[in-house]
Amino acid sequence: MNFEISEAHVNTSPARSEPSRRFSVAPMMDWTDRHCRFFLRLLSKHALLYTEMVTTGALLNGDHERFLRHNEAEHPLALQLGGSVPLDLAMCARMAQDHGYDEVNLNVGCPSDRVQNNMIGACLMGHPQLVADCVKAMRDAVSIPVTVKHRIGINGRDSYEELCDFVGTVRDAGCTSFTVHARIAILEGLSPKENRDIPPLRYDVAARLKADFPELEIILNGGIKTLEACHEYLQTFDGVMLGREAYHNPYVMAEVDQQLFGSTAPVISRAEALAQLRPYIAAHIDAGGSMHHITRHVLGLGTGFPGARKFRQLLSVDIHKAKEPLVLLDQAAELLEGR
């Protein structure tokens, strides 16, 4: 597909190198917003962070600055798009590049009904050639990498041959990096949440895919909880992506740089991470924002030590009646001392 994008959109920011996908944090709607990502970045400098999915409709018809806004500290950073109209995706990929994102990713894994009605997400696994057309249009529009996140199948189209047909067709359009949520999506009858738990995880299928497409970068996603597990899967796969565990227990990320990227920097403590977040929170409050917008993503720091419950209570319950939010934050921070 050919299309024109005006020169006014050409990116003038310095080129960044291809991000490493050895360890990434998954795109998660309502969770991995810019505040969450800023916080997670304090725990690991190397993890690749994904935005929440943004639809092409939202970017093209809505307030795109609001959706694309991020802090320079969040890099390496990938924008995830939802859509299936090649020209729209191409324009949005260009927006991502112009706003400095390091990668643009197409969502072919999200099963929600709302999303299916618009031909977005996992239902696209049934339309490999359309996904290939989308990827080609996006690749023609940008120089940053274009990647795909997908399932191992959908109900009615869940054979290994169909999975290979999907990956092979999209590869032929130039995509070289696939993040595989290693379970099928059931498009009718299960909620998005159930679709993240009920269909069984099939790492064996993802591993077979890597064996059959050795030239492709295959990132494993689904159910990974520890860095030990990451080490194990990195024997087979090119990268690992964590979703829920990184959100509910973000401190799991504190040793990612040392264990998976060979960093010799000291491991950050929980207390230090919160101390480094404090000026960001103060600036957000000064700009008229609420502390809760940020600290709701930090609750998971309060797991696994005495006082953890109190920490969570301060930042999830007491926060709503606090007159001086930063005083409350400092109280919560005291509970992290030495942690």
Q: According to CB under 6 A, which residues from 140 to 179 bind ligand FMN?
A: 149
* CA within 13 Å, CB half, 2: 0
- Smallest distance from the beta carbon of 151 to ligand FMN, in angstroms? 9
Q: Min. distance of Cβ 86 from ligand FMN in angstroms?
A: 19
Binding characters for ligand FMN, 15-54, by CB under 6 A (x = yes): -----------xxxxxx--------------------xx-
What is the nearest approach in angstroms of ligand FMN to the Cβ of residue 124?
A: 12
Non-local (6+) Cβ contacts of 279 within 8 A are none
Of 36, 110, 123, 134, catalytic: 110
244 binds ligand FMN (CB under 6 A): yes
Concatenate the DSSP letters of all residues of 115-164 into one string: HHHTT-GGGGGG-HHHHHHHHHHHHHH-SS-EEEEEES-BTTB--HHHHH
When asked if residue 221 is in the footprint of ligand FMN (CB under 6 A), the reply is yes
Count of CB atoms situated within 10 Å of the CB of 235: 7
Nearest to 222 by CA among 7, 24, 19, 38: 24
Which residues in 260-289 contact ligand FMN (CB under 6 A)?
Answer: none
Binding-site member from 19, 83, 128, 223 for ligand FMN (CB under 6 A): 223
Window 79-108: contact mask with ligand FMN (x via CB under 6 A): -x--------------------------x-
Q: In the set 224, 260, 277, 308, which binds ligand FMN (CB under 6 A)? A: 224
**110 has catalytic annotation:** yes
Distance from C-alpha of 93 to C-alpha of 82, rounded to nearest angstrom: 11
Query: Residue 178's beta-bridge partner residues?
Result: 148, 218
Contact 50, 105 (CB under 8 A): yes
Nearest CB to ligand FMN, comparing residues 110 and 146: 110
| Nearest residue (beta carbon) to ligand FMN | 243
Assigned token pair, 284: 């957000």
Kindly state the tokens that stand for 83. Answer: 């859509």
What is the nearest approach in angstroms of ligand FMN to the Cβ of residue 338? 29
Pick between residue 40 and residue 53 the one whose CB is nearest to ligand FMN: 53
- Establish if 196 lies at the interface with ligand FMN (CB under 6 A): yes
Determine, following the binding rule CB under 6 A, whether residue 190 of this chain makes contact with ligand FMN: no
Name which of 49, 123, 47 is nearest 80 in CA terms.
49
Terminal CA-CA length for the chain = 55
Cα separation, 229 vs 240, in Å, equals: 9
**Catalytic amino acids?**
110
- Site residues for ligand FMN per CB under 6 A: 26-31, 52-53, 80, 107, 109-110, 149, 181, 196, 221-224, 242-245
